[in-house]
């Protein structure tokens, strides 16, 4: 039971468990950060609405605003080029967190529920079926799939 192969297998299992534990902990931290960012964004939007209302009330009170000036101006949105991050320039962890980890965790949750006889095949199938970037592509090279030899 203490053969080099058994030791290697135990080490591999321990490494896998540690890896998934780190991913899960990191994801819960990310969820907390995202919730905080969402709360901050909501607070900023509420503040902007409040300021806009106050400006309108002040303008109405002074009688200086025309109908066109009463409409609140839309908050400036960053251009689409800034919204799309260049995935190749992201650090490794951020790239994985944005592209792979969410669907991988969903797949692992389904895997644990189903407990199929071939978990690797099940997980691979789940990932391919639920890949948001594929949108109907069936294993075509250039569609996120490495070419087969």
Report pLDDT digits (tens) over 24-82: 777 778 888 888 888 888 888 888 888 888 877 776 655 544 444 445 555 555 444 54
pLDDT: is 118 or 34 the higher one? Answer: 118
* Secondary structure of 35-71 in HEC code, one letter for each residue: HHHHHHHHHHHHHHHHHHHHHHHHHHHHCCCCHHHHC
User: How much is the average pLDDT of 82-106?
Assistant: 80
Answer yes or no: is pLDDT of 108 > 50: yes
Q: What is the pLDDT of residue 138?
A: 55
Answer yes or no: is pLDDT of 109 > 90: yes
What is the rounded distance in angstroms from the CA atom of residue 58 to the CA atom of residue 63?
8
Task: Give the other-Cβ count within 10 Å of 139's Cβ.
Answer: 10
- Among the residue ranges 20-24, 110-114, 123-127, the one predicted with the least confidence is 20-24
Contact present, 55 and 64 (Cβ < 8 Å): no
pTM of the complete model: 0.38
Q: What is the pLDDT of residue 1?
A: 64
- pLDDT above 90 covers a percentage of the chain that reads 19
């Amino acid at each position: 039971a203490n053969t080099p192969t058994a030791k290697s297998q135990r080490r591999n299992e321990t490494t896998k468990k540690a890896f998934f534990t780190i991913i899960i902990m990191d994801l819960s931290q990310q969820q907390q950060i995202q919730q905080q960012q969402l709360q901050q964004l909501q607070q900023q939007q509420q503040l902007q609405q409040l300021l806009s209302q106050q400006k309108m009330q002040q303008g109405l009170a002074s009688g200086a605003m025309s109908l066109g000036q009463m409409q609140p101006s839309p908050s400036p949105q960053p251009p689409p080029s800034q919204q799309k991050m260049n995935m190749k320039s992201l650090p490794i962890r951020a790239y994985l967190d944005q592209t792979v980890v969410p669907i991988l965790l969903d797949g692992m949750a389904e895997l644990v529920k189903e407990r199929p006889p071939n978990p690797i095949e099940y997980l691979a199938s789940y990932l391919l079926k639920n890949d948001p970037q594929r949108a109907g592509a069936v294993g075509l090279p250039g569609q996120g799939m490495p070419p087969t030899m």
